[in-house]
Chains A and B, each alone.
Chain A
């Protein structure tokens, strides 16, 4: 019943998307067409129907309705409710439905609230959104229907991959998807503005909240994913340059560049064609990411589907969408007139540098991610890892971070280094101190540069507040300062983790004492324990920092029975200055247990900094939306007064 309802809602939503596309196309030509007038409600209803389909799937998973094939292959009645709920998107079909639902809902919200741009532009934007959605509806309905029934119903479900059975599953995929798909709105805005020749500061202001919102969610999604991988996989690393991680990093890099260029367009009416291009690129990267993850050409925890036709379907969608957008861009780019001018030493100049460097880093990641796939077509099997990605991206990112210290201090249009150089004195001195400290510890080149830059940036990022009355500082400026400070802290965390981590791998008996860095651990006992769908061996470690009061750590080696698989649950002890990380391995024939321990100084700054970056985005978003609302209310009031005073 619920499955039928979900499927019906999905088909109806797809039909409305078709209508929306037609209406959007008509809006470019005819005026007063009834379909055009109905476009906004159509988009809103489409959003509601697609969301309803997703809710139906969630209900099916929560009830463990085994007459639905997707539930039977991916869920299990004994699974905790949280994972039944989150498991609805922990599989290929469900995750694609989530994608479509978010995309339709975002389109509905645009239709509902956006009133600043000329109506034609909005309608063209909604049409573009429908064009993209339709492809994904077709993909869902014809190649990966989440509501396929089983007759007779399965006696029991097959369960969910234990690596995914973690609270992280409830947050990581939806946040990342909202980010991915939020960029589709930026994409549609860009296409709509190109089609109706409306690339203007107003367009930038209309697009900016969407870019900001999508970017915040992408940032959070990547952060969750990184921390999840860090504690769940038990490898002690937080970023592996895995193709699937890169798939989320690439849209983030493009969105970060877009976020900065859209500010230039909104404030100064410059970088017009470039901003539109980035809007297209950012969502293209989301689709490339989806293709990489969902096509089954990569095999990882994330790649659920291994049906090659699906990969071809997504590849076709990718080619059609990107091709069409680039064609529109090619046809209309010449009509986007040149924006305002500026000198190199200006806020715009710094932001251009930021954009070019981010695009360069994006290129490096894209090439490194696709290279193994391309090499495979000529028969060479290759993997590309940190030895490539770390230095190659650093070449672009580190200079960009230097400019991040300077750019926010510069004025728009033209400025001189002489004016701002006194402000840079303290950051420069701190950077030198960081450099000296790093050299004295004899750390590698990249961590050294990271430590030095991070030390300088911590102060440089808050310098734009210097000499201002803090009470009058606007929210977007607070947002920028917070986000830049977050970048500095995260960079410091990364550098510290790679330079100062202490690792120990031992085979120990209960009663043994192990030293790692400043910690001294006593291995007291092992005991068997059980959860609702797993059993485990749990070790107890008493860890004392520098002779202080001991903390108890309990790493587990878990065995799940459906599907039969094991996971290593790491145990973490967090202090202000870092984390102790413990993993329990297997027992050797002589009765000793393998233990792997890391002391990671300041590793937590990576995620703390990342959260600050997202918080900065949130502050800026609030600031922008609040001032938009104020303007809207003021306009409404004037209109109301006019009407009352009118004849």
Chain B
């Protein structure tokens, strides 16, 4: 290898390399966030402006009364999430959270299928006052209560 680089230059080179890496990280993050961040939808928003099929999003609202149905395989359930304005059918395969029940808030993580059914990979239910999914906390204040009233 060559002689050690001159003192003045070395510091500059190091600073430039570090800056380049950090700016690179920033740009990469910005680009990746645009394509990978998953947006939160309420049923009305999903009906008005549906996300593209196959994109990971989250859907939150109340589980409609009488909508939970279990399929023959014993592990898949279908239900409807509503905010009083629109209804979105959801399919979920897995073990449902303990506090998932009708007429209670839930957030489904997953993708919209081609037939309009939302296919959830994960369900979050309202646990207790201390542990509520963030979106649902806002909802209990506003839409959720209205939604409960309307779906009664």
B partners with A = yes
Q: Which residues of B contact A306 (CB under 8 A)?
A: 130
Bound Cα distance A507, B71 (Å): 11
Q: A507 to B75, Cβ gap below 8 A? A: yes
Q: B37 to A392, Cβ gap below 8 A? A: no
Of the listed stretches B24-32, B82-90, B143-151, chain A binds B24-32
Is there a chain B Cβ closer than 8 Å to A112's Cβ?
no
Q: A363 to B1, Cβ gap below 8 A? A: no
Is there a chain A Cβ closer than 8 Å to B44's Cβ?
no
Identify which of B95, B122, B131 contacts A299 (C-beta below 8 A): B131
Min C-beta distance of B36 to chain A, whole Å? 4
Identify which of A342, A387, A590, A594 contacts B95 (C-beta below 8 A): A594
Q: Contacts A161-B130, A566-B99: A416 and B1 contacting too (C-beta < 8 A)?
A: yes
Q: Contacts A161-B128, A506-B75: A395 and B38 contacting too (C-beta < 8 A)?
A: no
Q: A367 to B74, Cβ gap below 8 A? A: no
Is there a chain A Cβ closer than 8 Å to B73's Cβ?
yes
Bound Cα distance A356, B70 (Å): 52
Q: B11 to A338, Cβ gap below 8 A? A: yes
Is there a chain A Cβ closer than 8 Å to B113's Cβ?
no
Is there a chain A Cβ closer than 8 Å to B4's Cβ?
yes
Bound Cα distance A301, B137 (Å): 14
Q: Contacts A381-B135, A414-B4, A588-B70: A563 and B128 contacting too (C-beta < 8 A)?
A: yes
Bound Cα distance A186, B71 (Å): 58
Min C-beta distance of A348 to chain B, whole Å? 10
Bound Cα distance A372, B94 (Å): 27
Is there a chain A Cβ closer than 8 Å to B115's Cβ?
no
Min C-beta distance of B130 to chain A, whole Å? 6
Q: Which residues of A contact B3 (CB under 8 A)?
A: 343
Q: A359 to B95, Cβ gap below 8 A? A: no
Q: A299 to B137, Cβ gap below 8 A? A: yes
Q: B40 to A161, Cβ gap below 8 A? A: no
Q: A388 to B33, Cβ gap below 8 A? A: yes
Q: B74 to A507, Cβ gap below 8 A? A: yes
Is there a chain B Cβ closer than 8 Å to A383's Cβ?
yes
8 Å CB interface, B101-149 against A: 109, 122, 127-128, 130-135, 137
Q: B1 to A299, Cβ gap below 8 A? A: no
Q: Which residues of B contact A565 (CB under 8 A)?
A: 98-99, 127-128
Q: A368 to B29, Cβ gap below 8 A? A: yes
Identify which of B26, B39, B94 contacts A382 (C-beta below 8 A): B39
Is there a chain A Cβ closer than 8 Å to B67's Cβ?
no
Bound Cα distance A564, B95 (Å): 19
Interface string of B7-49 (1 = CB under 8 A from A): 1001100100110011011101110110011111000000000
Bound Cα distance A414, B4 (Å): 8
Q: Which residues of A contact B36 (CB under 8 A)?
A: 384-385, 387-388
8 Å CB interface, A412-440 against B: 413-416
Which A residue sits closest to B132, measured CB to CB?
A: A299
Bound Cα distance A176, B32 (Å): 30
Min C-beta distance of A298 to chain B, whole Å? 7
Bound Cα distance A641, B93 (Å): 78
Q: A384 to B95, Cβ gap below 8 A? A: no
Q: Which residues of B contact A507 (CB under 8 A)?
A: 73-75
Is there a chain A Cβ closer than 8 Å to B96's Cβ?
yes
Q: Which residues of A contact B135 (CB under 8 A)?
A: 381
Identify which of A375, A383, A415, A585 contacts B58 (C-beta below 8 A): A383
Q: Which residues of B contact A300 (CB under 8 A)?
A: 131
Q: B128 to A359, Cβ gap below 8 A? A: no
Bound Cα distance A341, B133 (Å): 52
Q: Which residues of A contact B7 (CB under 8 A)?
A: 338, 341
Is there a chain A Cβ closer than 8 Å to B56's Cβ?
yes
Min C-beta distance of B99 to chain A, whole Å? 7
Is there a chain B Cβ closer than 8 Å to A380's Cβ?
yes
Min C-beta distance of A585 to chain B, whole Å? 4
Is there a chain B Cβ closer than 8 Å to A360's Cβ?
yes
Q: B33 to A342, Cβ gap below 8 A? A: no
Q: Which residues of A contact B30 (CB under 8 A)?
A: 367
Min C-beta distance of B70 to chain A, whole Å? 6
Interface string of A385-399 (1 = CB under 8 A from B): 101100110011000
Which B residue sits closest to A588, measured CB to CB?
A: B74
Min C-beta distance of B66 to chain A, whole Å? 15
Which B residue sits closest to A271, measured CB to CB?
A: B14
Q: Contacts A356-B21, A392-B28, A567-B98: A367 and B132 contacting too (C-beta < 8 A)?
A: no
Min C-beta distance of A363 to chain B, whole Å? 4
Interface string of A525-554 (1 = CB under 8 A from B): 000000000000000000000000000000
Is there a chain B Cβ closer than 8 Å to A11's Cβ?
no
Min C-beta distance of B144 to chain A, whole Å? 14
Q: Which residues of A contact B96 (CB under 8 A)?
A: 585-586
Q: Contacts A382-B38, A384-B37, A395-B28: A586 and B95 contacting too (C-beta < 8 A)?
A: yes
Which B residue sits closest to A366, measured CB to CB?
A: B29
Bound Cα distance A4, B48 (Å): 59
Q: Contacts A385-B56, A392-B32: A344 and B1 contacting too (C-beta < 8 A)?
A: yes
Bound Cα distance A395, B33 (Å): 15
Is there a chain B Cβ closer than 8 Å to A568's Cβ?
yes
Identify which of A299, A367, A557, A589 contacts B33 (C-beta below 8 A): A367
Bound Cα distance A375, B30 (Å): 12
Q: Contacts A299-B132, A343-B5, A360-B21: A596 and B40 contacting too (C-beta < 8 A)?
A: no
Q: B25 to A590, Cβ gap below 8 A? A: no
Considering residues A161, A388, A396, A416, which has the most beta carbons from chain B within 10 angstroms of its beta carbon?
Answer: A388
Which A residue sits closest to B18, measured CB to CB?
A: A356
Considering residues A344, A395, A396, A596, which has the most beta carbons from chain B within 10 angstroms of its beta carbon?
Answer: A344
Which B residue sits closest to A388, measured CB to CB?
A: B36
Min C-beta distance of A335 to chain B, whole Å? 14
Bound Cα distance A596, B93 (Å): 11
8 pairs from A and B in contact (CB 8 Å cutoff) = A161-B128, A301-B131, A360-B25, A368-B29, A371-B33, A372-B37, A388-B32, A507-B75
Enumerate the 6 nearest inter-chain pairs by beta-carbon distance, A residue then B residue, closest first.
A507-B74, A566-B98, A585-B95, A381-B40, A388-B36, A363-B25
Please name 15 further chain A to chain B contacts, defined as beta carbons within 8 Å, in addition to the given A355-B18, A363-B26, sorted by A numbering. A341-B5, A344-B1, A352-B14, A359-B21, A363-B25, A371-B33, A383-B58, A384-B37, A385-B36, A387-B38, A391-B32, A392-B28, A414-B4, A505-B75, A594-B74
